[in-house]
Structure 1
Amino acid sequence: MKTSMKYIAAAGLTLCGSISMPAAAAWLKAGEQLNVNQSLASHDGRYTAVMQGDGNFVVYRLSDGVAIWNTQTGGSGATHAVMQGDGNFVLYTADNRAIWWTGTTADAGLANEFTVDDVGRAVVMAYAPVWVTNTVTPGGAPAAEPLVFQYGFQFQRGVVYNGPNGNQWIFQTDGNLVLYHNGKPVWASNVTRANGGPALYAVFEGHLTTWNDSGYVWQGTSNQSYPAGFTYQSNESPPVLHADSALFNIQADGNAAIWVAARKWGASTYDPPASNVPPATGPHCIGDPTAPSCTGSGSEYNWTFPW
């Protein structure tokens, strides 16, 4: 994922077309490195990872300067930390001796990235496509940045979201969600009039769903799975990236796809999530109604419906 992507944030934007804004997070991408005294801000800006002059690589909590985690390589002579193209995150000395590494590999042609997530955990992660419309443009298409919608984005009726190469995403007034290529429909949810009631389409935790007062109307997960050969550390403990945990892309190749952040490696110590999560604000919850976030315990992912 690149910071030059066109992002549409999780707030209920109703603008037609794309919005250009930088990604909120700081990632160390394949081939990039941190040298002595260089640092990388966490996804939410509350932590920083520093390649120290003493050879130690440390994640600090900025509010009080407490060290959350470190590689315990002080005095080793390490001078730079590299996110390698092979997927491994490695500390090297000035003469390129490897001192410490995560042992991670890149899978299925997907690049690994290093970041510090929203609980101060150092992670090597990769975005993996878990759902796709299978609408690649015949004959190929020019390379271009995708139009990206963050986790929690709510599609508005009648708004045209313009992606690259003539690809358009529309939540139609008849309740159908349609992907167009140069004015021709190439994929649709085939849900019209939302089963007799108003509906809200949302991107939620790797799921594209339609909801109304009766609950689920449609959930586009018929081919939801990780690519063949893709490995991850734990599906139960993915990186805590909030709105960037799952991204919905209108891609240059003609596909619309959901990409989920998967953890390839994570540090052993980190800040626990805040326990004082505010209560739910309404009777509706976007997502699995049996999940803890939808059963009254409260969650930042609860929204009231707009009608």
Structure 2
Amino acid sequence: MLSRRRRAATAAALLSTTALISTGWLTVTASAAPSAGGAPHVKHLCAHATAPGHVACLAEARTDLVQHLTVSPHTTPSGYGPSDLQSAYKLPSSTAGSGRTVAIVDAMDDPNAESDLAAYRSQYNLPACTTANGCFKKVDQTGGTTYPSADSGWAGEISLDLDMVSAVCPQCHITLVEASSTSMTDIGTAENKAVALGAKYVSNSFGGTEDPSDTTADVQYFNHPGVAITVSAGDSGYGVEYPASSPYVTAVGGTSLSRASNTRGWSESVWSTNSTEGTGSGCSADEAKPTWQSDTGCGKRTVADVSAVADPATGVAVYNTYGASGWDVYGGTSASAPLIAATYALAGTPTANSYPSSYPYGHGSALNDVTTGNDGTCSTSYLCTAGTGYDGPTGLGTPNGTTAFSGGATAVNSLQPGRKLTSGHRLSSANITLTMGSDGNLVAYLKTNGTSGSGPAIWSSHTSGHTGAYAYMQSDGNLVVYSSTGSALWSTHTNGHSGAYLLVQDDGNMVVYGAGGGPSTGGSLWSDGTYARSTKIGSGQKLHGGWWAQTQYTRLVMQPDGNFVIYRKHDGKAIWSSRTSGHTGAYAYMQSDGNLVVYSSTGSALWSTHTNGHSGAYALLQSDGNFVVYSSTGGPGKGGALWSGNTRSYVP
């Protein structure tokens, strides 16, 4: 039994500690500095997800560190803090990120999320991020405040995620979106809500087993062009998890990070504690390979893309009080995913309609290449073993500044010098997918509802019949389609311009630009001319194959096969056509006499609106989905309709 004096002293200490907590001055004494030398004792905050369609958080907490509560405001918590991470990865955290919002998607509720975040940021003298000052926002998966049930494991995950975003981008705003459960349906709903709320950077620190149905979830929940979505690669060693394997996200692997007496001041290796604990990596069983990946040992999606610190032995400081005692050292790829999301935020707003997961592949030299360590054994060594250049466990490497995470001409919609587009691979922008077909034809398709589905073809290289052909953006500036035997089948004739590249633009045009050129700077060397046109077709205007225009609900296309077609945008269904397919080279002509006619390449009339005799008439693809020929003085709300495709009833 305690003596009266000892009981009094204990009570006084507890009162003092309570006061310190309320004022935000509670700290812990620093334990030994992080070290990769020994295997720490850790606990997984969430049980592994074993059922398809469910995920588990991937945070790991140290259990072998004694955290001493003290009254000193000058003591540093154990684990790497903001200054360490900013130094290790050369991040402009003090000058970039202001006003940008990083969203954190997690399952379940952390009732102490905002107060714990305040304690972390106060400890490291970071600017306050609260609901009151508009920096922090917490919502449920529908955007409301009916939060799900609290869970201590996920609360630790949430604290880790919030603290890592704060450490890397202290000027960023943070939105926490809490899913009602660990099911992919709820997680996906939260993902979509995060994007709908305006976040351009979304972090996901969870994963589960791969399943063939994941390809459906990809389109429903993770296909958000113009948004940087990061996902933890996994904590169970070699092997692939979902949604890290989605081709629409940046899969983030894990490293061990230690101080070093080199120029950088730090060194990294693959995080692997043992055969069942370490960063995930490998070759997806179900997901298609993104066009920006060119490794040859995996025919499908390879994990990971990039990496950052995740080893609990070299872990990060986290403050969490829901089901925990406060300061601790955490690890897992749950640490690296939000770190990379915040790095994207420092880099700037992603290019509209691009996939930011492609950005690092155009800037490999702007990353720290991790070349040592492995996360298991595999038959294709680079999928589990680090080496020079790309490898599975660490991807292209770790941040070395923000260059590798910024958009521009190196995004998914470009083919850079020295790169090939082989059978089945494609480039993609907001409205166009350029695909290298298995038959050897390079074809540009209009997308359906923002996806790369099989919309109408508007251009091709006319090189079908050459199985195994590929497109090659040569270093001399020429884009060439070669046969499998090396014979040139087609080219843009732009040789002599070293450093030129191909860009599939959001407006639908495909352009070869000279080095340093682009949509805003000029320097066009070749164009296929498939950009979207005005929805008004004026008197005397001719529409050749590849011409197209669109409104909110419909798309009007003069196809290279001779058919003039109106498509419903949301599902790609043809709702009207001139029925003139099979006439390659045909064109539509809005004649000065008022008649809209489709002519064959030899000048034979194939179809018309029979509206001749109305000089100056014009055609209009209306916002309500209807296609109408109006007299020269008519128009929507004015009357004067001479002919209509009657397509209004096919759209909402």
TM-score normalized by structure 2?
Answer: 0.19
Q: Radius of gyration: which is bigger?
A: 2
Higher relative contact order (CA 8 A, sep 6+): 1
Higher share in helix: 2
Higher share in strand: 1
